[in-house]
């Protein structure tokens, strides 16, 4: 079924908030998270991105790329506060809002509260309201399904938007570089290159059987999306599957006493997030990253739901002592999964939508 879908993506959200709140950082290369010595970049300003700094990059590499990079500690409470204000703008237009994170969401505006016929104009109006109410820029993608809208939102970043109307879908996807297909990462792209797949047109030339042979269960997905087929609905009642926190240390630690101190701090943070989300979990996972960057996870499932920091810490300690450490540790994390989320525990009321056959994009 053809819909009008908007994907809103805030531009360098965390970094932009820091620059907004601190004028001295405006126009400068900044990275949120990590430090010049350790850690990982959570977000980078556009000034930093010019030097190749990007999210999930180690702080050491980021500093090497951009020696004048300024590191800023993340303030998630502030980011959540602004995210709520942005989401309230979305809800002025539709209840069919599916948040993906604090800085991006899908909106189904096939039928909208304003009765506006053009999804393009709705996206423009939303971006203008976000700017007026928060001082931040947002980009948008508009099309007939979530996949194309997501791809389109990156097209004119920052502070732009791209509409792919129904009649443009085929040519848009055929001309698209394979790396720009949402869901195609670096490893998959390299595999596609070896198969002679560089653009959507190359991908479209492959049969469903060929793609299934080379990409397994993802094969049919690639076969469909390059033809503009993506049936996933905008779901305002997305159910959280896990919740966790982790810390990267300024110096490697090998003492279990110091590890327990860090785990206690992490357990406190998780308790706060669980209470905010009003959930609890049964499966505890301890994440350990060693000084040689090898990663290890240890998990256990208990018979009852927990959300208390003391119980979380007690189970994390048991996992920590499960076997000896093979090296000093640079990162520890705890997550809870198997949550008691219920399908009727929704953030927004979902209303039935009527699909129009004639679209004005």
* Token pair of 87 as six digits: 């989401």
- As a whole number of angstroms, the distance between CA 319 and CA 249 comes to 20
CA 261 to chain centre: 29
Between CA 166 and CA 239, with CA 98 as vertex, the angle to 5 degrees is: 135
- As a whole number of angstroms, the distance between CA 204 and CA 252 comes to 48
Sign of CA dihedral 37, 42, 44, 49: positive
- As a whole number of angstroms, the distance between CA 160 and CA 163 comes to 10
Q: 152-161: buried (b, 16+ CB within 10 Å) or exposed (e) per residue? A: bbebebeebb
Enumerate the β-bridge partners of residue 30: 70
312 neighbors 318 (Cβ within 8 angstroms): no
Using CA atoms in the order 106, 281, 294, 63, what is the torsion angle rounded to 10 degrees? 50
256 is annotated as an active-site residue: no
- As a whole number of angstroms, the distance between CA 114 and CA 319 comes to 53
Closest CA to 248 of 16, 67, 101, 42: 42
* Token pair of 308 as six digits: 């208390």
- Terminal Cα distance for the chain, rounded: 16
DSSP 91: T
* Token pair of 166 as six digits: 């129904």
Catalytic pick from 81, 104, 174, 269?
Answer: 104
* Token pair of 193 as six digits: 């290159």
Catalytic residues: 104
């Amino acid at each position: 079924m053809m819909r009008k879908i908007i994907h809103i993506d805030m531009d360098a959200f965390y970094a932009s908030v820091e620059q907004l709140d601190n004028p001295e950082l405006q126009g400068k290369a900044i990275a949120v998270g990590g430090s010049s010595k350790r850690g990982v970049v959570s977000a980078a300003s556009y000034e930093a991105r010019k030097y190749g700094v990007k999210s999930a990059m180690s702080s050491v590499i980021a500093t090497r790329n951009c020696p004048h990079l300024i590191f800023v500690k993340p303030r998630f409470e502030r980011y959540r506060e602004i995210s709520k204000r942005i989401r309230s703008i979305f809800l002025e237009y539709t209840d069919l809002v599916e948040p993906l994170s604090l800085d991006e969401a899908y909106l189904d505006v096939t039928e909208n509260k304003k009765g506006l016929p053009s999804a393009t104009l709705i996206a423009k109006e939303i971006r203008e309201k976000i700017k007026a109410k928060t001082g931040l820029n947002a980009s948008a993608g508009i099309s007939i399904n979530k996949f194309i809208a997501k791809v389109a939102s990156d097209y004119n970043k920052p502070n732009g938007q791209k509409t792919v109307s129904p009649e443009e879908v085929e040519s848009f996807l055929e001309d698209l570089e394979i790396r720009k297909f949402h869901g195609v990462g670096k490893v998959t792209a390299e595999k596609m290159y070896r198969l002679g797949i560089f653009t959507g047109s190359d991908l479209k030339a492959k049969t469903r059987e060929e793609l299934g042979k080379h990409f397994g269960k993802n094969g049919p997905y690639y076969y469909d999306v390059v033809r503009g087929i993506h049936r996933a609905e905008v779901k305002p009642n997305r159910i959280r599957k896990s919740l966790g926190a982790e810390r990267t240390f300024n110096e490697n630690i090998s003492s279990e006493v110091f590890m327990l101190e860090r785990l206690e701090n992490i357990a406190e943070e998780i308790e706060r997030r669980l209470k905010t989300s009003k959930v609890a979990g049964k499966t505890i996972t301890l994440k350990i990253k060693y000084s040689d960057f090898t990663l290890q996870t240890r998990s256990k499932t208990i018979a009852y739901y927990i959300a208390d920091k003391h119980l979380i810490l007690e189970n994390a300690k048991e996992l920590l002592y499960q076997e000896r450490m093979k090296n000093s540790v640079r990162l520890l994390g705890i997550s809870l999964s198997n949550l008691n989320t219920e399908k009727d525990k929704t953030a927004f009321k979902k209303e039935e939508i009527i699909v129009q056959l004639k679209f004005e994009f």
